[in-house]
Amino acid sequence: MATQTTQAAQSKVYKVDGFKDPTLPEERRLALEAGEADVLDMSVEGVLTAARAATGLSDFGPMDFMERLGLLLGEVERDGNLWKAAKKTFVGFCVKAASNRLRNRDYLAANPAVEDIVIDRPIIIVGLPRSGTTHLENLIAADRRLRYLPVYLGSEAVPTPGERAGPDGKDPRWLRSSAHWDRMKANPLMAAMHEHSPDHACGENELQMPDFATYQWEWMAEVPGWRDYYLSHDQTPHYRYGKTMLKAVAHQFPSDRRWIMKGNQHSEQLPALNTVYPDAIFIQTHRDPLALLQSILTMRGLSVLANQKTPDIQAHVTYWVDRIERMLRAYMRDMDVIPADRRIDLMFQDIMADDIGSAQRVLEAAGLPSSPQSIADMQHYMDTHPRGKDGRVVYDLAGDFNLDRAALRERFRFYTDIFPVKLEVAA
């Protein structure tokens, strides 16, 4: 395998050793080369046909998504450095999203009352990937006064027509999500980096996947052309699509509790986000950009090692350094779109120093007074989800990715001079 993971037997410390000299075991390479002869339909119509066959449904609703789907498929198909096995996996992602779109459309047509549901004063966490957003969301979600979007409903917002819970009472969507998590955590490195269990809180940008309009697609393939298209188009309609599907989730599980939500792409989409959720409280998390980068480059880099014939680590690094800079600059450009009384900026180091206190500060800002019960709920979450329970990953920004930390530090001064983040990576 291109990725080698070392583990200290007792302390569960993981290190990826494959970035400097990526190589594939001969058996794996031979299997991938054999797969190059497979026939693979990467057309838009091929994906739509597969989705119709998987669901027995045919109404996709507005067909504007076909342009976006076509751009994604075309860019991945043209990538000559990508193993066909990886292209097949990507087509599978597209078929799942298109299938979900069909199910979503069917559910909305059968349940017009969805549109009448109000998402009242949600608390929305905004922050770049690896900046503590998932931890903060799950911690706040532990307060029983709130509700959140679990991973299994982010993956499949509505049930498959005719599908019912089995004798164990488990939602089939939950069972599929649990099986997916079991496959993911078979690699202990993934379990250490990012929990994705079915009941864990996830970002609501997942609900935009069936509209083929979210930066989530950038985590699934190298698609810089598609990124440029996405950034050049108003995302408000796609945020509305996501909100409609959040209402559909609420329709299935009625509750008067307020929502705690989060999304990493929100940092560069504040105008659209504020338009669609005009009464939300926004919480932006801030972390040392170099700390973000070493984690992102490692996590996303695992796919590069696994999926590219000749892993282009330098292109991967260039892309994500630029991507994080763009997102930070977009946040700084647009942050005043959010009125000061509806925006809180939290430093990552403050969250880590006092998790529960930071979460209680968020609740107070949202008009939910602190209480012994709320603190107890959060303490229970902390006790059952201790930091590093699945191990920790050791990063080497300079050694793994040949980056000049001092130059990076200077490059991101536009951000660190304004927000007092703790500098976690030495220059």
Residue range of the domain that includes 399: 119-416
How far, rounded to the nearest angstrom, does the alpha carbon of residue 407 sit from its chain's CA centroid? 28
Taking every pair of Cα atoms in the chain, the longest distance, rounded to a whole number of angstroms, is 62
Q: How far apart are CA 136 and CA 152, in angstroms?
A: 19
Q: CA 407, 412, 418, 420: dihedral to nearest 10 degrees?
A: -70
Q: How far apart are CA 92 and CA 363, in angstroms?
A: 39
> Which pLDDT score, from 0 to 100, does residue 120 have?
97
Phi and psi angles of residue 327, each rounded to the nearest 5 degrees, phi first: -65, -40
On whether residue 87 sits in a domain, the answer given is no
Identify the helix (H) or strand (E) that includes residue 126.
strand 123-126
Quote the number of domains for the chain.
1
Name the region of 417 (left: φ>0; alpha: ψ -120 to 50; beta: rest).
alpha
Q: How far apart are CA 420 and CA 62, in angstroms?
A: 45
> Which pLDDT score, from 0 to 100, does residue 185 have?
85
On whether residue 18 sits in a domain, the answer given is no
Indicate yes or no: pTM above 0.85.
yes
> Which two structure tokens, joined as six digits, stand for 49?
């046909």
Angle in degrees, CA 310, 315, 320, rounded to 5: 130
Taking the CB of residue 407, how many other CB atoms lie within 10 A of it?
Answer: 10
- Between the alpha carbon of residue 233 and those of residues 213, 226, 319, 330, the distances in Å are 10, 11, 20, 14
On whether residue 305 sits in a domain, the answer given is yes
CATH code: domain of residue 295:
3.40.50.300
> Which pLDDT score, from 0 to 100, does residue 11 have?
59
Closest CA to 128 of 62, 205, 69: 205
On whether residue 113 sits in a domain, the answer given is no
Taking the CB of residue 2, how many other CB atoms lie within 10 A of it?
Answer: 22
> Which pLDDT score, from 0 to 100, does residue 8 have?
40
On whether residue 108 sits in a domain, the answer given is no
Closest CA to 306 of 14, 32, 91: 32
Contact 285, 348 (CB under 8 A): yes
In this structure, is the dihedral angle defined by the CA atoms of residues 209, 212, 214 and 217, taken in order, positive or negative?
positive
On whether residue 46 sits in a domain, the answer given is no
On whether residue 260 sits in a domain, the answer given is yes
On whether residue 96 sits in a domain, the answer given is no
How buried is residue 7: exposed, middle or buried, by Cβ count under 10 Å (0-12/13-18/19+)? Answer: middle
Taking the CB of residue 43, how many other CB atoms lie within 10 A of it?
Answer: 14
In this structure, is the dihedral angle defined by the CA atoms of residues 185, 190, 193 and 194, taken in order, positive or negative?
negative
> Which pLDDT score, from 0 to 100, does residue 12 have?
83
Closest CA to 49 of 72, 71, 62, 66: 66
Residue ranges of the chain whose pLDDT lies below 50: 1-10
